[in-house]
Every structure is written in C-alpha cells, then in structure tokens.
Amino acid sequence: MGVVVTFDYGTWAAQDPQQAAYISQQQATAAFNLATLQQANDGSGPINDAVIALTLLNLVTSHVCALIYPVSGPTSNPDPSSPLVGRISDATEGSVSVHAENDYPPGSAQWWQQSKYGSFWWEATAQFRTMRYLPSRRASGPWGPFGFFQPGIYLPGGGQF
C-alpha cells in the first residue's frame, strides 16, 4: 500500500540547509534511521507517493537532528544540543528558570511540537492519520457472509429456498 524510500543526504541538505551546515552525512543517515521508527518506510504505510514520503521522512530526520545534535552556534564549535526533554511549559527571565514537561499521551502532538520540523510534519500528515474503512471481502449469494445457507435467500433464476 505504501512506498519505500532511500535517504539521500543531498536532498535532505537542500530541504534543510540550516541544519546541514552542522550535521554530517553519517549523522543525518543515523537520524533518518531513527525517523523510520516514527514514520513507516517499509511499504506498509498510507503514503503512496515516493516524493511525499521522502519529504515527510526528511522532516522527521530534521526533527530528530534538532533534538539530539548540536545545530546552533558557530559551525566550527557548535553549541551542544538542549538537554531538555519535552516541551517548555514555563519560563521566567529574572534569575532564569525554565520548566519542561514530558507528559505525552498516546497520539499526542506534543512530542512533535518540540521543533518547527516536527510541527510541520504533524500538520502535513493529518490526512494520513485518519481512520480508513476497508469493507470485508465476504462471499455473497445464498451462502451468505457466514458460510452457511440462509433460508429466504432468492437464488439466481428466480427460485427460493
């Protein structure tokens, strides 16, 4: 039903040049592999277009990079990645205090809201996070959907049992 895509560092770097300045090809590939834990890349997902699937996986890759790799400061000596886990729930300026909470209920967007890439991914995948009804493939006719004859069913040719 879905598609399988291959990570391409050049494509990812073109989509996210800001982080590409800090992230090596090896690190980006590792982040892409982590991204496939969040979005299926085995052909089982609901995304049937390879370009859309790769674009979305690149967003997840950028989200993972923003969470675990240094992506700010001078490229020769980048600032370390933030040690915070979760979203910032409260911040003050005098005597500097920051509070983060990590209470992600299942299906929540909070984990994705930790970066602009995750937020974009969450909104872009709304169309794929909906229920899809697939009708059953039960047999029809006088034997009915349960595999045994049902009285009162009309047979082809006008007969009835």
- Rounded-to-integer distance, Cα 1 and Cα 73, Å: 42
DSSP E strands in the chain: the ranges are 87-92, 97-101
Q: Is the pTM of this model over 0.75?
A: no
Q: Is residue 90 part of a domain?
A: no
Q: Is residue 26 part of a domain?
A: yes
Helix axes 50-68, 25-35, angle to 10 degrees: 110
- Rounded-to-integer distance, Cα 67 and Cα 41, Å: 21
Q: Is residue 54 part of a domain?
A: yes
- Per the structure, the complete domain to which residue 29 belongs is given by 9-81+112-128
Q: Measured on CA atoms in the order 149, 151, 153, 157, is the torsion positive or negative?
A: positive
Amino acid at 40: A
Q: Is residue 141 part of a domain?
A: no
Q: Is pLDDT at 155 greater than 70 in this prediction?
A: no
Q: Is residue 157 part of a domain?
A: no
Number of domains, the chain: 1
Over residues 44-98, the pLDDT tens digits come to 888 999 999 999 999 999 999 998 988 877 877 777 777 777 677 788 888 888 8
Retrieve residue 81's tokens. Answer: 């990645």
Q: Is residue 62 part of a domain?
A: yes
Q: Is residue 136 part of a domain?
A: no
Q: Is residue 25 part of a domain?
A: yes
